[in-house]
Structure 1
């Protein structure tokens, strides 16, 4: 493997004998070679590779394995050289309306002087102004460098390519007293950098989902609407069609949520759904080698990462050994997921056995399980008796792994649930109990619980769902999870009288309407349970026969057509929409089911909603000194209905031209006796700092600081956004902006 210290991979463009060779840099790898090769019995192998032709120092190492042992080679180094090259200083992203200085620095590694002409390629996506008095053809002598600059104003949103070319040109003039030479090779060097131009405000995603199952023709009208305060030019829309409910999740196995994955539970979102998808595709003979390879890759990486959250006593918690103890609920989640995954990848059975044994030691005399460790997913408490809900989850996990009802731990747990279920009023707890007794084969309890649940079902838009409140005024992660458990229970046992596939299909219709643009739902656990339930429903209703033609008609009459059949039912078919807002007609003709999703993306200024969180942010620093870092101060208070939150995320975007220093995050008003608001972890995702807090108590104000060093100067700076939200109650959120503290950069 080669580690890249300064490297830029380049492409050499062959030319005629009359034209110089042009080297274009446009790829910046962190590693160059990472290959697995077989060596013959001779013990020698020659491999040819094209070296990126920039001034680069590479370090290489290799190891080998064989039936007789393991070998490790000493490291070696390689230097790549070219006569001169150009580098660009460009911000990672800017906001439309901001202006920045593009700097191109040319280095000369020849022993003679050259005259360099530097050219910025024209583009309709930005305007460029030369600096006053600047010259773009200059002498450059040995081991010297020159910097050339332009003022760039982006004109459009999205990705913008910036291309700069440096050429060694002939000149009759001297460079000082030294003659000018032109290298025979490498006379021209070009570099291309990608710049992301973003819209102001906070990004919003809105999905309009329709599950259409025509026996002949079905028509629907979908209205795409934008809020009044939408940022001009930020709205983008698309429509996609799939012939399989699992197809959208399958397209986004790496990122089912637009949310971070920094804890032991969130990591399992990259692990568990792969199992359900593999089981479904395998059972329906739709599993291709490519899909299997992708899914197994995520299973292996998820398995290895999850072990980093393991405690010495075989339990698991959100932040591993950084937490005081393992968590009962997460340990059960890991146990069942590892047990299911053993069918597809190597997982040491000892980890499953040890987790079950640890859970067994948490079982009390009455058969219920004690809640140990911090529970970030507080909705698991399920009403007045959280032991019942937690115990139902653990017993269901063991029954999924084929531990029988005669297993001592399972037997005692079921006894606990039968003796205490009458004390439970929460709909969430009843849905989970319904699933647990389904796996246990207890038909009497199934009938009792489905009757109680059916009485609380809510109908909306042809779909059926359950809510934490009887009027259905709340729709969030918990509602998806409750509804998914009901569907999972119906699909995991013998059909109950009056609750056949027709009843289940109405649940699926509602669930499909909640799915986000990435294939997930609101948060972590609702996505895992919903995909498990949908996979079981899809398997029960799968039919290879039939085909459907879908026609999308725009407000102006533009027609887009999709054809779904058995050969492409898993294929993700997508088309951009040009008319937003507007009413689109959807017509499905044929026999079978198709899943149609309209996705709308746009930006709005940070909403003033302060019903759940109150957040403010400001930046400070020394304005008179260039390139000085700024300190961002963030004040957060929870103002919602609960006594305390679940895990809280603070997402901090740096100002354009700045970067976040994740090591600098501090809670500055910490009370040593309080663990509320403690920073558990800080990640950098993209350009943003993502701060994980264990929880916030109602009315308690917390103040955090972090440093943002400057990378590249940007003028006319727009405000940067800071968001805060409850990871499991995503409707509880707030956002604010902070600005550059000085009037002039």
Structure 2
């Protein structure tokens, strides 16, 4: 459901800029409408394989609000029954009067404003009461439990927000922008710009998508024209200086400067008219602390046949996901399932997999196994997801060439979309073929 809504929303925003097949768009919209529950909510259908891309919109209220936004931005009128039913559900079920889930509150506020709902102003006032204000910035934590320790505060540096906090603040910016509240919007913009990385993105795919949309819509609201004529001069305490000119011919271009030595101060002097963004980034290395393996893997090879020249082993591989996430983006840890996982099994020297056995595993095995590839002595098993509960499967290998004194071979499991999340073990024969 979420992925379809994401595509529909993207196509709706791109329509008028690029050619979008409206037949495909209409089919996707109709599919979502058919899946809508009787109470007006949009349920989860299947699941997203790359969960990092989904961001924080996995809850029932958040998902319903997200799908409703996608339909509205795709051109579905607010009077459409699917929109009316979704708004009724959100109004009766999801509009709490506290700051337990600021993300849902921000997304629902955005939906109500876009749809012209009578409670839009009320929810914006509630959203404002849940905000965190620091100096000239305003932002929201994903939930009131979303606290974090930040070393940067010791030196007056802005702290990096969690991905869900960035996404929540971006939806809040869209809601205030929808109401034409430039003053509060500017405070949120200041916070979001502090969180951007040197490449212009944020911490994840989804918070970058939402934050860039919010910043772009704010720019269209606040900047009346593109008339820019400005001279900028940068200087450091080490007598390094650099000047550039920005006008209508290059105002949309990114201009970068590499400072040869790290200064203690960097001064920017601007003369002229217009609006420009100046951003600095510092890269440095720190030793990474040892991290617990994301996957716990166990593998065992037992003799299956040992007659004459015929010899085969049965391999049993078990996986368990061991990665923890910040629950509600706070300090509580909670195990979760992986994205699509891949288990890479190397077979013993002189052995190959039994083809019929692999086909049976792929066809009749657990529904979580989506695909099996083989290449020489390696078998790769694609698993829909691995949870905290142990997931096991079995396959067989047969000897084609006699090799004496068989050695252990690696069995490695990893997150298909993030291979750094991995774990492995060595597979040894419990007894050796004659």
Identify whether the pair has TM-score above 0.5, normalized to the shorter chain. Answer: yes
Aligned to 1:379: 56
Aligned to 1:607: 289
Q: In 1, distance between residues paired with 2:201 and 2:23? A: 31
Q: Residue by residue, what CA displacement relative to the aligned partner does 1:147-169 show, whole Å, maximum 9, x if unpaired?
A: xxxxxxxxxxxxxxxxxxxxxxx
SS of alignment partner, residue 459 of structure 1: strand
Aligned to 1:447: 121
Q: In 2, distance between residues paired with 1:726 and 1:453? A: 37
Q: Residue by residue, what CA displacement relative to the aligned partner does 1:135-182 show, whole Å, maximum 9, x if unpaired?
A: xxxxxxxxxxxxxxxxxxxxxxxxxxxxxxxxxxxxxxxxxxxxxxxx
Aligned to 2:168: 482
Contact 2:236–2:267, Cα closer than 8 Å, also in 1 = no
SS of alignment partner, residue 381 of structure 1: coil
SS of alignment partner, residue 429 of structure 1: helix
Match of 1:467 among 141, 152, 171: 141
Q: How does 1:165-204 map to 2 (within 5 A)?
A: none
Q: In 1, distance between residues paired with 2:5 and 2:111? A: 14
Contact 1:647–1:694, Cα closer than 8 Å, also in 2 = yes
Match of 2:339 among 641, 647, 652: 647
Aligned to 1:697: 387
Q: Residue by residue, what CA displacement relative to the aligned partner does 1:181-220 show, whole Å, maximum 9, x if unpaired?
A: xxxxxxxxxxxxxxxxxxxxxxxxxxxxxxxxxxxxxxxx
Aligned to 2:4: 331
How far residue 378 of structure 1 moved from its aligned partner, in angstroms, is 6.9
How far residue 551 of structure 1 moved from its aligned partner, in angstroms, is 3.1
SS of alignment partner, residue 256 of structure 2: strand
How far residue 603 of structure 1 moved from its aligned partner, in angstroms, is 5.1
Aligned to 2:86: 413
How far residue 412 of structure 1 moved from its aligned partner, in angstroms, is 1.7
Aligned to 1:661: none
Q: In 2, distance between residues paired with 1:520 and 1:467? A: 19
Match of 1:401 among 74, 77, 83: 74
Q: Alpha carbons of 1:636 and 1:420: their partners in 2 closer, same or farther (altered >3 Å)?
A: closer
SS of alignment partner, residue 597 of structure 1: coil
Q: In 2, distance between residues paired with 1:552 and 1:702? A: 60
How far residue 343 of structure 1 moved from its aligned partner, in angstroms, is 1.4
How far residue 411 of structure 1 moved from its aligned partner, in angstroms, is 1.8
Aligned to 2:205: 524
1:515 aligns with 2:201: no
Q: How does 1:129-144 map to 2 (within 5 A)?
A: none
Q: In 2, distance between residues paired with 1:594 and 1:468? A: 30
Root mean square deviation, CA, Å: 4.0
Contact 2:295–2:424, Cα closer than 8 Å, also in 1 = no
Under a length normalisation based on structure 2, what TM-score does the superposition of the two structures give? Answer: 0.65
Q: Residue by residue, what CA displacement relative to the aligned partner does 1:83-104 show, whole Å, maximum 9, x if unpaired?
A: xxxxxxxxxxxxxxxxxxxxxx
Q: In 1, distance between residues paired with 2:392 and 2:201? A: 31
Q: Residue by residue, what CA displacement relative to the aligned partner does 1:424-479 show, whole Å, maximum 9, x if unpaired?
A: 8411111110111111112x321221122112212346322111233653522211
Match of 1:426 among 96, 101, 106: 101
Q: Higher strand share goes to which structure? A: 1
Q: How does 1:579-728 map to 2 (within 5 A)?
A: 579-580=261-262, 582-590=263-271, 591-602=273-284, 606-610=288-292, 613=294, 637-640=321-324, 641-645=333-337, 647=339, 673=366, 675=368, 694-698=384-388
Q: In 2, distance between residues paired with 1:363 and 1:579? A: 58
1:437 aligns with 2:112: yes
Aligned to 1:456: 130
Q: Alpha carbons of 1:502 and 1:638: their partners in 2 closer, same or farther (altered >3 Å)?
A: same
For these two proteins, the number of residue pairs brought into alignment is 335
Q: Alpha carbons of 1:373 and 1:604: their partners in 2 closer, same or farther (altered >3 Å)?
A: same
Match of 2:251 among 560, 569, 585: 569
How far residue 592 of structure 1 moved from its aligned partner, in angstroms, is 3.7
Q: In 2, distance between residues paired with 1:674 and 1:643? A: 22
Q: How does 1:284-433 map to 2 (within 5 A)?
A: 328-375=1-48, 376=51, 377=54, 379-382=56-59, 386=60, 388-423=61-96, 425-433=100-108
Q: Residue by residue, what CA displacement relative to the aligned partner does 1:618-648 show, whole Å, maximum 9, x if unpaired?
A: xxxxxxxxxxxxxxx9x98424122314637
Contact 1:548–1:592, Cα closer than 8 Å, also in 2 = yes
Q: In 2, distance between residues paired with 1:702 and 1:605? A: 35
The structure number with the bigger radius of gyration is 1
How far residue 402 of structure 1 moved from its aligned partner, in angstroms, is 2.6
SS of alignment partner, residue 569 of structure 1: coil
How far residue 562 of structure 1 moved from its aligned partner, in angstroms, is 2.8
Q: In 1, distance between residues paired with 2:338 and 2:174? A: 25
Q: How does 1:728-739 map to 2 (within 5 A)?
A: none
Q: In 1, distance between residues paired with 2:72 and 2:130? A: 27
How far residue 586 of structure 1 moved from its aligned partner, in angstroms, is 2.6
Q: Higher helix share goes to which structure? A: 2
Contact 2:323–2:335, Cα closer than 8 Å, also in 1 = no
* Structure 1: gaps (5+ residues): 1-327, 617-632, 653-665, 683-690, 704-721, 739-745
How far residue 694 of structure 1 moved from its aligned partner, in angstroms, is 4.9
